[in-house]
């Protein structure tokens, strides 16, 4: 081996290491980019029916869709803003007191719990969640970045996709293009299901808590609907404020609130999500659970929040790029199958 060949290989190794270090350093930014991609997919899913029905250009459909979302949000704030703010303030003021009362009733020693879980991976997730959650400015800035980035991506998706595909060698571009299309299709179906589930779960939770007599049902329904987006742990997190407020009123109301939460989640898991998602996302529950936890351990709360959609993308990529292309085995890709079926149905009509 000549000196030049040896030096070139060493430089290649250093370049790969530097790239890996840069990607790890920018992991939060990459996750925000992925969140912007999800936002763009959601916007384009809302744009599609408008474009098909009216023949409107995509740019104007995007503006129209964004305006509709803003008007809907403004109408909700105008209609329920004062009542929601009062109920949210009530939840924030009374939930901690109810939690302390519950801890005293159960005689829980948090000093020992902090020692037991403080050094664990799950304890690290919780600690990072508290740290990140305390910075409202960072959260608002990240939200604005995701929304603006999503608008840019939704306005001209082909240019960004083509630029990404161009990074790969010519012989890989067709495979990578198919993988991105299948991933986008699966994420679009999953996002539609999540939005519908969030609305239905929020409404059913608010109505259920109002019927059984839990205070602030409107705020509790909003919390349940918002936390529904968090994979796996979202339903549990959304039910905690309702259970805390109910526990302050007595164990009978606590049991009733728990029954409402269980019924709502059973309807969501067994009726809403399977009906909307269909057969596009065939990700086993255990895989989604551990993938979400793994992302949370690696990247903190943001990774935990985006863990399930990242697992969907990884599932499509592993099936196509590794099992089918690298191993040469036959494997079915649900998103590919459903995407082709929709394309055939559209061509026939």
- Inform me whether the pLDDT recorded for 105 exceeds 70: no
CB 185 within 8 A of CB 315: no
pLDDT at 228: 82
Residue 237 CA neighbour count, 13 Å, CB half: 14
- Inform me whether the pLDDT recorded for 203 exceeds 50: yes
- Inform me whether the pLDDT recorded for 299 exceeds 50: yes
**Average pLDDT rounded to a whole number, residues 164-172:** 88
138-to-27, 28, 132, 189 alpha-carbon distances in Å: 16, 12, 8, 30
Give the residue with greater pLDDT, 319 vs 340. Answer: 319
The DSSP secondary-structure symbol of 108 reads -
pLDDT at 9: 83
pLDDT at 84: 60
Sequence-distant (≥ 6) Cβ neighbours of residue 329 within 8 angstroms: 323
The domain total for the chain is: 1
% of the chain surpassing 90 pLDDT: 5
pTM of the model: 0.75
Window from 26-30, 281-285, 291-295, 316-320 with minimum mean pLDDT = 281-285
pLDDT at 134: 47
Sequence-distant (≥ 6) Cβ neighbours of residue 287 within 8 angstroms: 311, 315
**Average pLDDT rounded to a whole number, residues 262-278:** 74
Give the residue with greater pLDDT, 172 vs 279. Answer: 172
CB 261 within 8 A of CB 241: no
At residue 34 the predicted structure's pLDDT band, cuts being 50, 70 and 90, is very high
3-state helix, strand, coil in the chain (%, to 5): 85, 0, 15
| Distance (Å, whole) CA 85 – CA 80 | 8
| Distance (Å, whole) CA 18 – CA 22 | 6
**Average pLDDT rounded to a whole number, residues 157-172:** 88
pLDDT at 342: 74
| Distance (Å, whole) CA 170 – CA 29 | 28
CB 212 within 8 A of CB 232: no
- Inform me whether the pLDDT recorded for 334 exceeds 60: yes
**Six token digits for residue 242:** 């309702």
- Inform me whether the pLDDT recorded for 130 exceeds 80: no
- Inform me whether the pLDDT recorded for 249 exceeds 80: no
- Inform me whether the pLDDT recorded for 198 exceeds 60: yes
pLDDT at 1: 58
Range of the domain at 78: 3-348
pLDDT at 133: 45
Backbone angles phi, psi at 228, to 5 degrees: -60, -25
pLDDT at 37: 92
Q: Nearest Cα to 92, choosing from 208, 230, 244, 195?
A: 244
pLDDT at 128: 52
Give the residue with greater pLDDT, 232 vs 199. Answer: 199
| Distance (Å, whole) CA 98 – CA 85 | 20
Mean pLDDT over the full length of the chain: 79
Give the residue with greater pLDDT, 148 vs 92. Answer: 148
Q: Which ranges of 248-305 would DSSP assign to H, the alpha helix?
A: 251-267, 273-277, 285-299, 301-305
Helix axes 170-212, 251-267, angle to 10 degrees: 140
- Inform me whether the pLDDT recorded for 124 exceeds 60: no
Residue with token string 């009726």: 271
pLDDT at 40: 92
């Amino acid at each position: 081996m000549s000196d030049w060949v040896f030096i070139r290989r060493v430089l290649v190794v250093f370049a790969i290491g530097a790239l890996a270090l840069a990607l790890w350093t920018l992991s939060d930014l990459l996750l925000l980019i992925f969140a912007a991609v999800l936002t763009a997919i959601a916007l384009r899913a809302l744009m599609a029916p408008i474009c098909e029905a009216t023949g409107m250009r995509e740019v104007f459909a995007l503006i129209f869709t964004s305006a509709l979302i803003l008007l809907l949000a403004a109408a909700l704030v105008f209609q329920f803003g004062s009542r929601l703010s009062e109920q949210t303030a009530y939840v924030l003021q009374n939930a901690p007191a109810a939690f302390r009362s519950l801890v005293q009733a159960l005689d829980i020693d948090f000093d020992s719990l902090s020692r037991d879980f403080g050094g664990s991976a799950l304890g690290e997730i919780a600690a990072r969640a508290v740290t990140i959650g305390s910075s409202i400015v960072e959260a608002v800035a990240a939200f604005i970045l995701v929304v603006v980035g999503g608008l840019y991506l939704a306005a001209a998706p082909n240019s960004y996709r083509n630029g990404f595909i161009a990074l790969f060698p010519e012989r890989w571009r067709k495979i990578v293009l198919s993988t991105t299309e299948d991933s986008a299709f699966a994420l679009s179906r999953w996002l539609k299901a999540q939005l519908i589930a969030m609305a239905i779960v929020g409404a059913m939770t608010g109505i259920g808590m109002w019927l059984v007599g839990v205070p602030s049902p409107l705020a509790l329904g909003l919390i349940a609907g918002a936390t529904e987006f968090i994979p796996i742990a979202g339903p549990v997190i959304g039910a905690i404020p309702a259970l805390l407020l109910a526990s302050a009123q007595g164990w009978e109301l606590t049991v009733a609130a728990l029954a409402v939460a269980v019924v709502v989640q059973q309807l969501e898991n067994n009726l809403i999500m399977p009906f909307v998602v269909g057969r596009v996302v065939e990700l086993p529950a255990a895989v989604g659970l551990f993938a979400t936890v793994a992302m949370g351990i690696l990247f903190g709360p943001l990774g935990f929040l985006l863990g399930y959609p990242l697992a969907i993308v990884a599932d499509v990529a592993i099936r196509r790029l590794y099992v089918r292309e690298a191993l040469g085995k036959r494997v079915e890709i649900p998103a590919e199958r459903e995407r082709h079926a929709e394309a055939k149905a559209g061509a026939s009509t």
